[in-house]
Every structure is written in structure tokens, then in C-alpha cells.
């Protein structure tokens, strides 16, 4: 294995155990971890994004965590630029970049590139907002699904900004935004990329794990974390506040829904996120499925399989 030209992707749905496996891999391989989670980039959003612990960060070098204030935006293009730079820097050290996370759009764009997208158009955006006011964002998401099912599968039904942008690109160019990905512009060049995914076959097991983790985060102070963000005046329209869990708890703290409703909506939203992640991964070519079973020996089995595959 050439450490200078090897790149490892460790993908999977939320709550499947990617971070734990990545840390164990870092104990036996010269890797540095690049975060591929669009929520863990935000400063001050620690509990609800399930960031690696201080102990885990001490074991393995992590990049692209805590790089953006929640009141700011961080685009897919910015991620690709930052990740590409880090991959080169890690290779220069004689180490292996290990990209870990569940934001599949980031992984895809990094591999296959992004074509130039049209600049925002205020008139078109206003037309879309008018339609959304009349019919609701779920209806706009349904329209996007008919136009571009690949992208809509990765966009939450309540993610107004991304729904609007995808529809805007379609109106301005006549093309699906997914067609704006191009293999001609890959951000990773001259590297051997190995794709691994932890795909839990028993959804009931994953759903229980999602619920257990959410209640654990609440006990750790998730509600208080969201309350601090609201007190800072972070607009609810920002992508950070629309992250799974944050939006639902924000509604509870604003007395729009009950605490129990917020909990259940957050858990359901996380399940929906996992479903979208599965949709991306099922179509990924060349993927090695680690088939995480949560058995006592499964982590060692997965480590062995990764090492043998490289």
C-alpha cells in the first residue's frame, strides 16, 4: 500500500459507529481523519452533532471540525477545496487521509466534482418563495423529487434553502442540479480511493440506536446547547439551525410544540436522514460493505476487512 496515494472513505448512515471504527483504525494505521459531516463543522454545536470526544481527538488527528460559526454558511465547493488541500498535506506527511462521515453530497462532490452553477437570481427566487407560500415547502420538495430524485433524496423536506437552490438551478439552466456534477472535475486526482460503508442490515437495530443516542444527547445538555444558540440570535433560517435535532428543539424552546413532540420529531427526522444516506450508498460503485452487526467482534472484523482490502 502506498501511503502517498491512498485515500480511504468510511461512510455510513448516522449512528452506525463510524467514529469509533475510525479511531480504532487510527491506532493501527498512519491516518489523519478528515470530517465529512456538514453539522460537525459548526463551532458551539457539540452535543447535537455528536462530535468526537476529547479523548478520541487526542488519539487521532481530526480536520474540518469546528471551522465555521453557526451564523455563517459553508458550501459544498468550500468543503471540496478544503478537503483536497488536506489530502495533499496529509500525503506530504507520509500518512493516509481517512475521510469519515455521512454527508454523502460532500463525498460525491469530492469524487466526481462540481460544474459551475449559475449565480443566484433574485427574481427566480422570489417566484419560488411565492409558490412555497401558496403551496408549502413539502409540495416544493415533491416538485423537486419529480425533477431531480437523486438530489431530493439528499435534501430534507423542510430544508428550504437547498430546495430553493435546486429548483432555481433547474429554472435557470433547464438542467437537474445533479447533472451539474461532472467526473471531468474530480477534486481527487492520481489517488487510489477505497470506499467502505457500515450498512446495518437490520433497520430496527439502527432505529433503536438512533433513539438511544438522542436521549443520551438530551441528558448531556442538548436542549441547553440549542437554547444558547437561540440566545446568540442565530437565525432559524441558517443551515446550522436546520440540522437534525436543532430545528425540532428550537420549536420546543419557542413553545411551538411540546417537549415530547420535539423528541419524537427529532428521532423521526434522524431516521429519515439515515434513509437518504442509504439511498446514496446503495448506488455507490465499488463500495465495500462492512455490514456492521454491532456484535462484540464486529469492529475487529471490520478492521481486518479494511486492512485486507487496501
CATH assignment of the domain containing 235: 3.40.50.300
Could you count the other beta carbons within 10 Å of the beta carbon of residue 289?
Answer: 16
Measured CA to CA, the distance from residue 164 to residue 155 in angstroms comes to 11
Measured CA to CA, the distance from residue 160 to residue 238 in angstroms comes to 10
Same domain, 162 and 261: no
Same domain, 286 and 155: no
**1 in a domain, yes or no?**
no
Q: Please identify, among 139, 159, 180, the residue that sits at the C-terminal boundary of a domain.
A: 180
- Determine if residue 221 is left, alpha or beta; phi over 0 gives left, psi from -120 to 50 gives alpha, anything else beta: left
Same domain, 287 and 139: no
- Tally of structural domains, the chain: 2
pLDDT by residue for the chain (310 residues), tens only, comes to 444 489 999 999 999 999 999 999 999 999 999 999 999 999 999 999 999 999 999 999 999 999 999 999 898 889 999 999 999 999 999 999 999 999 998 998 898 777 667 778 888 999 999 999 999 999 999 999 999 888 887 787 878 888 998 999 889 888 887 776 554 456 677 889 999 998 876 889 899 999 999 999 999 999 999 999 999 999 888 999 999 999 999 999 999 999 999 999 999 999 999 999 998 898 888 899 887 545 555 788 888 889 888 8
Same domain, 196 and 269: yes
pLDDT of 293 reads 47
Angle at 222 between CA 217 and CA 226, to 5 degrees: 155
Same domain, 130 and 237: no
Same domain, 106 and 237: yes
Same domain, 10 and 104: yes
Residue range(s) defining the domain that contains residue 245:
6-114+182-309
Same domain, 11 and 94: yes
Q: Which residues contact 50 (CB under 8 A, 6 or more apart)?
A: 15, 19, 40, 213, 217
Q: Name the burial class of residue 17, with classes exposed (0-12), middle (13-18) and buried (19+) by CB atoms within 10 angstroms of its CB.
A: middle
Same domain, 250 and 162: no
Amino acid at each position: 500500500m502506498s501511503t502517498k496515494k491512498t485515500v480511504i472513505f468510511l461512510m455510513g448512515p448516522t449512528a452506525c459507529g463510524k467514529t469509533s471504527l475510525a479511531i480504532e483504525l487510527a491506532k493501527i494505521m498512519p491516518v489523519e481523519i478528515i470530517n465529512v459531516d456538514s453539522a460537525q463543522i459548526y463551532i458551539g454545536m457539540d452535543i447535537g452533532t455528536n462530535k468526537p470526544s476529547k479523548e478520541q481527538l487526542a488519539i487521532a488527528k481530526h480536520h474540518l471540525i469546528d471551522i465555521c460559526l453557526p451564523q455563517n454558511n459553508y458550501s459544498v465547493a468550500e468543503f471540496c477545496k478544503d478537503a483536497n488541500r488536506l489530502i495533499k498535506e496529509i500525503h506530504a506527511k507520509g500518512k493516509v487521509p481517512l475521510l469519515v462521515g455521512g454527508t454523502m453530497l460532500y463525498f460525491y462532490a469530492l469524487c466526481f466534482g462540481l460544474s459551475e452553477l449559475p449565480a443566484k437570481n433574485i427574481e427566480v427566487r422570489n417566484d419560488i418563495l411565492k409558490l412555497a407560500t401558496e403551496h408549502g415547502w413539502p409540495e416544493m420538495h415533491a416538485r423537486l423529487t419529480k425533477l431531480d430524485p437523486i438530489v431530493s433524496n439528499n435534501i430534507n423536506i423542510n430544508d428550504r434553502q437547498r430546495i430553493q437552490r435546486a429548483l432555481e438551478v433547474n429554472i435557470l439552466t433547464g438542467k437537474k442540479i445533479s447533472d451539474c456534477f461532472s467526473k471531468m472535475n474530480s477534486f481527487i486526482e492520481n489517488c487510489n480511493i477505497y470506499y467502505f460503508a457500515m450498512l446495518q442490515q437490520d433497520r430496527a437495530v439502527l432505529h433503536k440506536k438512533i433513539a438511544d443516542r438522542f436521549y443520551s444527547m438530551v441528558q448531556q445538555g442538548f436542549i441547553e446547547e440549542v437554547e444558547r444558540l437561540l440566545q446568540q440570535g442565530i437565525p432559524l433560517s441558517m443551515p446550522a439551525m436546520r440540522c437534525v435535532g436543532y430545528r425540532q428543539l428550537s420549536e420546543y424552546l419557542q413553545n411551538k410544540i411540546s417537549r415530547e413532540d420535539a423528541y419524537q420529531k427529532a428521532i423521526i427526522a434522524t431516521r429519515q436522514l439515515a434513509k437518504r444516506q442509504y439511498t446514496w450508498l446503495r448506488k455507490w460503485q465499488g463500495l465495500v460493505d462492512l455490514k456492521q452487526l454491532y456484535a462484540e467482534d464486529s469492529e475487529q472484523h471490520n478492521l481486518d476487512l479494511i486492512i485486507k482490502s487496501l
